[in-house]
Amino acid sequence: MTGTLSEPAAEPAAGPGLSLHVTKGHGTENDFVLLDDRRGELDLSAALVRALTDRHAGVGGDGVIRLIESSRLPEGAAVLAADPSARWFMDYRNADGSVAEMCGNGVRVFAAYLEQLGLWDPFGGELAVGTRAGVRWVRRIRAASRPVAAMPEEKDGPWYAVDMGPWSLPGGDRAVEAGYDAEVAVVGLAEVRPALGVDVGNPHTVLALAGLAELEAADLTRAPAVVPVPPRGTNVELVVPLGEETGPDGVAVGRLRMRVHERGVGETRSCGTGACAAALAVRAWAGDGAPDVWLVDVPGGTVRVSVLPGGHVELAGPAVLVADADVVLAALGR
């Protein structure tokens, strides 16, 4: 069920050609500009997205998240057909203005945003979020529910856990047996590397490196070259497996470190769907007996990935809202 507080009257996201009220938030330093446009009154053009996410002349962010009622977007019709409780749609745009299917860190930040606006009571039930990759369910959990004692203390308040929905390995059993279904060339690394495609509602290509020195040597200021070229583009994750730990309950927990180049953005401090893809790829490479729970260390912090029954995967981590601001549209050239 979705818990909902009484809804306050919404103001238009944009004033009469003067300003735009925004909120800045991040999930493990994957940062976003959030807009309350629940009635769909804002023309969210690619140019406006690029201006808002500009780190020198705008607010700055890896993307823009617009809050809008699912009923006000064509993509929302499918969401509401699947789950009528998914009233709110997370309309996500990459920093270059392109539309993206999903964002794992963004869903958590979106949930925290709805909580701040009084549109979701986390104590009243889970939140159904509409996305272009389908409905995503979110629940708030305590950061103290860390799966391993060695996990660093979180200073960002509560965590949010998201059922990220179904995942798949597009290359199928043949790719799992071979260990790869693509090749990736990364600036700063000497050889072309084999990589495994993973779909988590959006496309990913994961390659394993020999150690942390290689991870640091990779230059992600330029997009890695992936062959075959994915039809929708792809996020590329570079991972170093770090072995396993034992949680307080005696269950094995895998750990890995990751960097990511996001399509339409560049290197980011974190990527939620990328963390899921990385954990799923390493788990596939490890074979039978591999852990179902993984801690993924990214430059912006640590998230937890859990393989769920029924072919789903869960992502858990912090979400932080850091500022509210009124952006002068004329200063953005709008």
**What is the residue-level pLDDT of the chain in tens, covering all 334 positions?**
333 333 444 554 555 568 999 999 999 999 999 999 999 999 999 999 999 999 999 999 999 999 999 999 999 999 999 999 999 999 999 999 999 888 999 999 999 999 999 999 999 999 999 999 999 999 999 874 444 444 444 454 899 999 999 999 999 999 999 999 999 999 999 999 999 999 998 999 999 999 999 999 999 999 999 999 888 899 999 999 999 988 777 889 999 999 999 998 999 999 999 999 999 999 999 999 999 999 999 999 999 999 999 999 999 999 999 999 999 999 998 6
**How far is residue 134's CA from residue 312's CA, in Å, rounded to a whole number?**
13
Cα-flanking dihedrals φ and ψ of residue 211, to 5°?
Answer: -175, 180
Identify the structural domains of the chain with CATH numbers, from first to last: 19-164+320-332 (3.10.310.10), 166-316 (3.10.310.10)
Residue 276: active-site member: no
Instruction: Find the catalytic residue in 200, 271, 280, 319.
Output: 271
Burial of 194 (0-12, 13-18, 19+ CB in 10 A): middle
Residue 271: active-site member: yes
- Encode the chain in three state secondary structure: CCCCCCCCCCCCCECCCCEEEEEEEEECCEEEEEEECCCCCCCCCHHHHHHHHCCCCCCCCCEEEEEEEHHHCHHHHHHHHHCCCCCEEEEEEECCCCECCCCHHHHHHHHHHHHHHCCCCCCCCCEEEEECCEEEEEEEECCCCCCCCCCCCCCCCCEEEEEEEECECCCHHHHHHHCCCEEEECCCCCCCEEEEEEECCCEEEEEECCCHHHHHHCCCCCCCEEECCCCCCCEEEEEEEEEEEECCCCCEEEEEEEEEEECCCEEECCCHHHHHHHHHHHHHHHCCCCCCEEEEEECCEEEEEEEEHHHEEEEEEECEEEEEEEEEHHHHCC
Instruction: Find the catalytic residue in 20, 102, 103, 196.
Output: 103
